[in-house]
């Protein structure tokens, strides 16, 4: 049975800690692993991407492999071929399959029928690859993970859910501050509040994501109105621990969920976080692909 990475809960705490340390090693020695030597990885994108596509594509090359980027309209999937048949065929050619799509059920179905590892590169419900890079960035900043507090402020979405799931595995306490109607659902291991100041109090990291995720465009105006008080700015950072850092998965909308002063300021680790996507995903592929 292949090992999949759909929500992050597939990893044990020890595996996740080791993965973060391995990612930091690979960052120092980017060509230090040849685990994909002349093998291919299929990367299916049914939604736009800058970071995920570029970090996976470059990361696979650094591991000695060949990335095969497939957009939905390039696959027979868009003309009615089943997810099952797509999984059967891809499994006979590639060492792993990454997929970015809307429904979590589609990714689960792909994994059920795939004989190679399937990696969730973002769904409506989860973004576990992002959380890997986020934990790596926290480890670089603080030298540890256990006992850290991260406050996510904004829409209780895929990114918030993955931070809560993966954070809880390694002892990072995640607090989510969201307005009524936008709070994280699904019984995830996080402290939920509607008060951003309460969430930020004493936190080691403050985290923002977009107010309008891919697929939520129809409700953009009401989201912007409801989420307006949930902005990552210097006043909120002042509520956090003195050495707290600011994180954002990107893409950012300065003036909405984060101020320009924080996005480009001295306390952000956001651009480092974006780079860490490549290193963390390389460590993940090493773990999954044999």
Would you name the residues annotated as active-site residues?
Answer: 100, 127, 130, 209, 249, 277
Q: Judged by CB under 6 A, which of 7, 33, 49, 114 binds ligand CP?
A: 49
Q: Is 214 in the site for ligand NVA (CB under 6 A)?
A: yes
* Distance of alpha carbon 69 from the chain centroid: 19
* 232's tokens: 């990552």
Question: How many of the chain's residues bind ligand NVA (CB under 6 A)?
Answer: 9
**How far are the Cα atoms of 126, 232, 254, 269 from residue 261, in angstroms, in the given order?**
29, 10, 9, 13
d(CA 10, CA 2): 12
d(CA 209, CA 195): 17
We find the least distance from the C-beta atom of residue 122 to ligand CP, in angstroms, to be 6
Q: Is 120 in the site for ligand NVA (CB under 6 A)?
A: no
Q: Is 101 in the site for ligand CP (CB under 6 A)?
A: no
Sign of the CA dihedral with 235 first, then 149, 279, and 68 last = negative
CB nearer to ligand NVA: give 83 or 212: 212
CB nearer to ligand CP: give 132 or 203: 132
Q: Is 52 in the site for ligand CP (CB under 6 A)?
A: yes
Exposure b/e, 32-44, CB count within 10 A at least 16 = b:
ebebbeebbbbbb
We find the least distance from the C-beta atom of residue 253 to ligand CP, in angstroms, to be 13
* Vertex 35 angle, CA 142 and 58, to 5°: 65
Closest CB to ligand CP: residue number: 52
The stretch near ligand CP (CB under 6 A) out of 25-33, 186-194, 248-256, 258-266 is 248-256
Q: Judged by CB under 6 A, which of 99, 210, 232, 289 binds ligand NVA?
A: 210
Q: Judged by CB under 6 A, which of 123, 130, 137, 281 binds ligand CP?
A: 130
Question: 209 is in the binding site of which of ligand CP, ligand NVA, none (Cβ under 5 to 8 A by kind)?
Answer: ligand NVA
We find the least distance from the C-beta atom of residue 162 to ligand CP, in angstroms, to be 11
Q: Is 209 in the site for ligand NVA (CB under 6 A)?
A: yes
Kindly report each contact of residues 76-84 with a partner whose C-beta sits within 8 Å and lies 24 or more positions away, as own/partner: 83/109, 83/110, 83/113, 84/109, 84/113
Q: Is 7 in the site for ligand NVA (CB under 6 A)?
A: no
We find the least distance from the C-beta atom of residue 214 to ligand CP, in angstroms, to be 8
Q: Is 273 in the site for ligand CP (CB under 6 A)?
A: no
- Token pair 């974006």 is found at 274
CB nearer to ligand NVA: give 123 or 259: 123
| Window 155-184: residues binding ligand NVA (CB under 6 A) | 157-159
CB nearer to ligand CP: give 91 or 279: 279
Sign of the CA dihedral with 41 first, then 46, 47, and 48 last = positive
Three-state SS letters, 74-103: HCHHHHCCCHHHHHHHHHCCCCEEEEECCC
Sign of the CA dihedral with 167 first, then 173, 177, and 183 last = positive
Nearest to 205 by CA among 173, 159, 252, 162: 173
Enumerate binding residues for ligand NVA (CB under 6 A): 122, 157-159, 209-210, 213-214, 249
């Amino acid at each position: 049975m292949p090992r999949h990475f759909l929500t992050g809960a597939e990893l044990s705490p020890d595996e996740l800690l080791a993965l973060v340390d391995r990612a930091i090693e690979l960052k120092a020695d980017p060509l230090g692993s040849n685990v994909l030597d002349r093998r291919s990885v299929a990367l299916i994108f049914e939604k736009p991407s800058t970071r995920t596509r570029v970090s996976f594509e470059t990361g696979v090359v650094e591991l000695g492999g060949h990335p095969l980027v497939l957009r939905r309209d390039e696959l027979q999937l868009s003309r009615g071929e089943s997810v099952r048949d797509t999984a059967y065929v891809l499994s006979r050619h590639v060492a792993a399959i990454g997929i970015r799509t809307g429904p979590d059920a589609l990714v689960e179905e792909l994994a059920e029928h795939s004989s190679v590892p399937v990696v969730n590169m973002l769904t409506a419900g989860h973004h576990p690859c992002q959380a890997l890079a986020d934990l790596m960035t926290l480890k670089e900043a603080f030298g540890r993970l256990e006992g850290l507090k991260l406050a996510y402020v904004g829409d209780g979405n895929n990114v918030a859910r993955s931070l809560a799931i993966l954070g809880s595995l390694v002892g990072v306490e995640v607090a989510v501050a969201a307005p009524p109607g936008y709070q994280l659902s699904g019984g995830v291991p996080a402290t939920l509040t509607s008060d951003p100041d309460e969430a930020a109090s004493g936190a080691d990291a403050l985290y923002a994501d977009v107010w309008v995720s891919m697929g939520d465009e129809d409700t953009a105006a009401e989201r912007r109105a409801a989420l307006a008080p949930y902005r990552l700015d210097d006043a909120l950072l002042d509520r956090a621990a003195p050495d707290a850092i600011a994180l954002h998965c990107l893409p950012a909308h300065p003036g909405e969920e984060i101020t320009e002063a924080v996005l480009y300021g001295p306390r952000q680790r956001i651009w480092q976080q974006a780079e860490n996507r490549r290193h963390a995903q390389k460590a993940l592929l090493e773990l999954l692909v044999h």
